[in-house]
Structure 1
């Protein structure tokens, strides 16, 4: 800050006061001059900045708290990566469970349709034996064909295992009989309940009669 210095006015013999050239302007306004004993405002002295520099003018070392937080960054990153991996695994499990639930619901409906086909086929066999009218026989046969066509569009097909080796993935043996001559043991001889598959999975296993090796006395 500047301090005003009193200005001495000089009165001439005629009674007029002339302004001092250093303290008063020509228009009568008084100017303030800085005091030689009071320092003026300006940039801080180098001595005032000495506390901000380290030895040799280097920047002072970081605070211990900042160093500790910097060391914790890799740990936070590792935790984030683990959490991201767990989230991805959860999403995959949820998607897989959703697909399995949807497939189970579809297969439940398909099995009901297959059971309906079984009943209609039994009705057709009984109608043939009982001599039912041909119109009735054709009508029921048309319904069976329509249902089988729908099952085929859904990827479902009947399994015909007669004469083929027994496969536990698609067959359920309910009875064993002695193998006829020329037939290898473990061959499917009869079908008690038709089986169905969807893709490479068994939708319903076939109940079959399997040949076995003959007992040699």
Structure 2
């Protein structure tokens, strides 16, 4: 390792170094005091922005809660009044029955006529409400729409519906009640 010989310092050099250090210190204080108001202003701006964002977040949260509450109310009303359309259609059927029974001296023909009219009104109400009748005579047995309660000997092909004990119903394409049927037995 090589050592550098000590060189005597010139008093002039140390005075220059001291002056530079003093100038730097003064400049540092000057910069510090010059930037302090700038930092305070930046902090104030950041606090204002944070306050605005917090306010916007609170409003968005409140709006979300309102939307959720309204949606729950709408779901509740939809469930509560889902049958309203069908009930309105059934009122026509009830009126028809009441008119049939209100006849002073009913004959068998007038009662029959009133019952036919009532049945037509009921069929219209079913149709308007998406309720469809399943009457599968002569169709191939479908376990999704039919419930076989017996198998009878028949000249029909096996698993063909040959008798309907009770009609089935579909509601908007979904089985509400399967048809109770008898199917042809294989020979």
Q: Which has the larger radius of gyration?
A: 1
TM-score bin, normalised by smaller chain: 0.3 to 0.5
Q: Which has the higher helix share?
A: 2
Normalising by structure 1, what TM-score?
Answer: 0.40
